[in-house]
Amino acid sequence: MFSKILIANRGEIALRIIRACRELGIATAVVYSTADKDAAYLKLAEQAICIGDAPPAESYLNIPRIISAAEIADVQAIHPGYGFLAENDHFAEVCRSCQIEFIGPPVKAMAAVGDKVECKRLAKKAKVPTVPGSDGAIDDEKQALEVARKIGYPVIIKAAAGGGGRGMRVAHNDVSLRAGLKQAQAEAENAFKDSTVYIEKYVEFGRHVEVQILADAHGNAVHLWERDCSMQRRHQKLVEESPSPFLKQSVREELCNAAVRLVKAAGYTNAGTVEFLVDQDQNFYILEVNARIQVEHPVTEQVTGMDLIKEQIRIATGMPLSFKQKDVQQLGHAIECRINAEDPARNFAPSPGTIEEWRAPGGPGVRLDSHAYAGYRIPPNYDSMIGKLIVHRRTRAEALAAMKRALSEFHIAPIKTTIPLHLQIMDNEHFRSGDVDTGFVERVLLAR
C-alpha cells in the first residue's frame, strides 16, 4: 500500500480522495492554486503545496509543477481526480517515468479508448454495438446519400474535428441531407479549419446510460452496474441515478456485460466508465469510454456499498480485486443532484462569491459530497459545481421523496444555486415516471 499520495486536483474530488486516503492510513499531499489557498479542505491533507496562480495552465494543468510538487512531497503515487489531467495520457506517462504511480489506467489503454476510431475498432472486436454510421469520412454527396439510406433516417452529420455541437446537422430525408451536408462542411471549415464530416444514425429521444467498471492488473474486470444520466443541459449532467428506471433487466445485464468485454479488449485497468446511448426500443450503442473516476461515482457507491476511490488506490498498488462479479449487488435506488453555483433564473449565469449561509441537509439516506461551507469563497476560475447531493433509499419512490426533502432542507445564501431547478425536476411528472431523454431538460423543462 502507498504511504503517501499526491492529489492533483481541487475542490470536492480532492476532498473525496483525501477522505479515502485517511481511511486507508495513507498520507496525502494536495496541490492548490492561489485561488484555492483559503479552502478548508486543504487542512485535511498532511501537506498542501501551492503550485501556481489561478489559471489552470499555471496550476492544475501544469505538468512540470505538479510533478515537482510530487517530488518534493516524496509521494509514491498521484491521483488525478476527474477533469484537468485525469485523461491526459502524456501526464500519466510522465508520472510513471518519474517513478510515481498514476492512479488510473495504463497509458496505452487510456490512449486507445480515448481515440474515437480506435475505440470503435475495439468495440467491434468485443462485439459491443456501435452507433451505425459511415465509419469514416464522407467524400461526396452520393456516398452520403448511400450511407444515410443504409442506416436509415434520421441521421446526423458531424464534423470529424468537431466538438461543442458545431459542425453538426440532423437530416430526416434526402433533401435535408444534401443541404445539411453543405452547411456542416462549411461550419466545420470555419470553426476547425477542417471540413471533414462523417455520418451517424441520429437517435432521437435517446437516453444516456453508463456502466461503471473496475479492472485490476491481473486480468479481472467487473462492472458495478449502470447509472442513468439522461437529465442534461448542454451536454452537462444535472441528475444521475442507479438503477436506470428505463432499462429492462435483460438489457441492463447485456449492457453491463458489454462494457466489461470492451475494457478487457482494451487492456484497461483501474476505474472507468463506458457510456452508451439507448434508443426508445432499448437498443444500445457505445458512445465513449471515460478513462477516469467520474463526478457521479457516489451513485454507484451507494447502491453497491463499495468505495470506488479506495478500489482505485488498491488496484494501483497492484492488488487484485478483492471481490468477484457475483459479489456486486445493486441494492435500493440512489439519485444524485449536482449543486452548481449558477442562477437558473438568469440562464444559469455563474454565481461566484462568498457563501455566507450554509445549512446542509441530513437524515437517513442522505450523503453530501462538498468542499463548501459558510464562509467559503467560490473562486470564479473553475467550474461552478459546489457539491453533490446524493440520496439512497430502498425504492425509487422513496429516493425521490428523500431527495425532495433534502433539497428543501438545503439552505445556501446569498449565492444562487441550482437547488430550485432540482426541486422542479423532482416534482416533474415525466422525471418521476422515468420517462425522459437527453433532450428533455432543454426541450421541456427549461422551455417553459
Partner 1 sequence: MAKKNQSKKGSKENGSVRPASGHSPMDLDLLEQMTRLMRDNDLNTVDVRDGDKRVILKRGSAFAAPSGSSGYVVQQPTTTPSPVANTGLPSAAGTGAGASSSTPAMTDTEAGMVAIKSPMVGTFYSASSPDAKAFVSVGSTVDEETDVCIIEAMKVFNNIKAEMKGTIGKILVTNGETVEFGQPLFLVKPA
Q: How far is the CB of 22 from partner 1 (least distance, A)?
A: 17
Give the nearest distance from C-beta 164 to partner 1 in angstroms: 27
Q: What is the rounded distance in angstroms from the CA atom of residue 312 to the CA atom of residue 363?
A: 29
**In terms of CB distance, is 331 or 413 closer to partner 1?**
413
Size of the site for partner 1 (CB under 8 A): 24
Residue 416 to residue 106: CA distance in whole angstroms = 41
Q: What per-residue string of b and e applies to 356-370 under the rule 16 or more CB within 10 Å gives b? A: eebebbeeebbbbbb
Binding mask 325-364 for partner 1 (x = CB under 8 A): -----------------------------x----------
Convert 227-258 to b/e letters by CB count within 10 Å (16 or more is b): bbbbbbbeeebbbbbbbbbbbeeebbeebbeb
Helix count and strand count (H, E) for the chain:
14, 22
The reply to whether 42 sits near partner 1 by the rule CB under 8 A is yes
Secondary structure class of 103 (helix, strand, coil): coil
Give dist(CA 130, CA 149) in Å, integer.
18
Out of 38, 146, 356, 435, the residue judged to bind partner 1 by CB under 8 A: 38
Q: Which of 10, 292, 338, 393 is catalytic?
A: 292
Least CB distance to partner 1 at residue 317 (A): 24
Give whichever of 68 and 325 is closer to partner 1, judged by the CB atom: 68
Cis bond upstream, residue 154 (ω within 30): yes
Is the peptide bond between 80 and the residue preceding it cis, with omega within 30 degrees of 0?
Answer: no
Interface of this chain with partner 1, residues 367 to 426, rule: CB under 8 A: 377, 380
C-beta closer to partner 1: residue 52 or 243: 52
Shortest reach from residue 415's CB to partner 1, in Å = 13
Active site residue 432: no
Q: Which of residues 89-118 bind partner 1 (CB under 8 A)?
A: 98
Instruction: Considering only residues 47 through 66, tell me which ones interact with partner 1, judged by CB under 8 A.
Output: 47-54, 64-65
Tell me the three cell numbers of residue 298: 457516489
Which residues are identified as catalytic? 292
Binding-site ranges for partner 1 (CB under 8 A): 34, 37-38, 42-43, 47-54, 64-65, 67-69, 71-72, 98, 354, 377, 380
